[in-house]
Structure 1
C-alpha cells in the first residue's frame, strides 16, 4: 500500500479541518492570559505537504531522554513556560500579580517554537525549506510531522502501560507501601496513539509491538489536546481518551474517584458509615 492510498477518513473532512478550526476558534472567547495558573503555552502547527493540498500534517516534538526531566522522551507540541517580557521583570517573584509584564500565550508559543525547533510562527504562513532540517534545542530529540489521516487509523489506538511508581511519585519514599500498592493495583494504563516513527515507510501498523512512554506515543495531555483540536475542527476522532486506569479496575476506580472528587468521596464514606451504623443498631434490637 502506498502512502498516498492511506485514507481513513474522507478527504473533504481533512480539507475543511483547518478552515473550520479557525472559524470555530474565532467564535470562542479569547483565553485569559492574565490568570496566575496559565503558566505555559504550546503551538499546534499544521502544514500542507503538497501544493495540491492533499496531505495535511501536524507538527510534534519528542523530548530528549533525561532522568531529571518530568516529560523525558515524551511526544508533545512545541511550547513551554511563559516568561516576563524584560530582563528587569525577571527579578520579580513568580507569584507577582504584575501579569501585564508577562508574555501573552501566543508570544510564549511563538518564542518556544523558535527556540525548540527554529520555526518562526510570527507570520501566518511559514516557508519551510532545507529538506526537513531543523535547529533543535538540547531538550528536543526529534521533530516530525504526522499525516492527520493517521489519527483516524484505529489500529494505532493502543493502551500505554505506565509504572505505578512513576505515576504516584510519593510511593517511592516507602518501598513497602509501593510493593503493597503494586500488588493491589498493578500498573496504570493510558489510552494512546502509536504514531508513525520518522523515517519508517508506511504502512508500519501491521505489527505494533508494545511501546513505552519514551517512544513515539501520543498520550496524556497532548492526546487530549489533539482530540479537542479535531473536535473543534469538525472532524472528531473515533476515540474518547479516558482517564488513567489500573490493572485492578475496582480498587483503581475507587482510588481515582477519591483522588478526583475528594469532597464527594468524604460525603460518600460518611453516608456508608451511617448506613452501616444504622444496620448494626437495627440488628441488635
Structure 2
C-alpha cells in the first residue's frame, strides 16, 4: 500500500494530515495527528492536577508556562503511545475493519521505522519532562511501566480500560507534582476520578469493535458489560464526580467548587441518555464529546482558584 493510503474510518475525511507531504503522512497517522481527541484526553488530567494544586494554595512559579509544556508533552507522548500500541497490536489491527488501514498493518511503515519514530517521540517527551522539578521527572518516568503494559491487557482481562485509566490519567499526579513539588491526598482522589472517567469514555469507544473483538479474541469492558453498559456508565460517571468532590473536601473547597461540577454531571447524563451501543457512529461521537466532559470538570478547581484570588 502506498503512502497516500486513506485515513482510517474513524478519522475525519479531508483533514489536515491528508494535505501533508506523502513522506511524513504515514508517521502523522501513526501518532494519530489526524485524531486530536486522544491528545485532549491525555492533556486534560494534567490540567486538573495543575489547577487542583493551585486551588490548594501551591504557588508554582510557572503555572502559566506549565500548561504549554503539558500540551506539547501530551501531543508527543500520546503519539508515542499510539505508535507503541500499533507495533504490539499490528496482527490484531490487520483483522479489524476500523484499524486495518493503520500505517503498520497496511504496510505504509515498517516495524523497524515505527520503532525509530517511537524513540524520537520519546526523546522529545523526555526533553519536555526535564523542564519540571526532580520529583515530577521521576514521577513522569514511572508512567512508562503502565504504558508498556497496556497493549497486553486486552489479551488477559476484560478490563483493559481500567489499565488505560491508570495510564492516561497519570498526568493528574504529574500536574499536581509540577506545581506542588509533592503529592497529597487530593491529587490521588482526582487521579481516581480520572480512572473512572476513562472507564466511562473508553467503554463507549470499545462498543465500536465488539463483533471484531469477539472474533479475534480481544477482550474489553464493552464485551464484558454488553447490554448492561448504560447502568455501569452511571456508576463510572458517579464515581468520577465523587472523586472530584473528595478532592474538594481535602482542600476545604468553597461550596461553589461543588456547584461547578453540575455542568459536567449534566453532560454525563446527556451521554448516557443518547448512547446507542449498537451504533458505531453514535459511540464515536459520544466518545469524542468527552473532551468537553474533561474541560467541564476542570471548571471546578479553576473556580476554586479564582475564589482564592478574590
TM-score by shorter chain over 0.5: no
- Report the structure number with the largest CA radius of gyration: 1
Normalising by structure 2, report the TM-score.
0.24
Higher helix share: 2
Normalising by structure 1, report the TM-score.
0.26
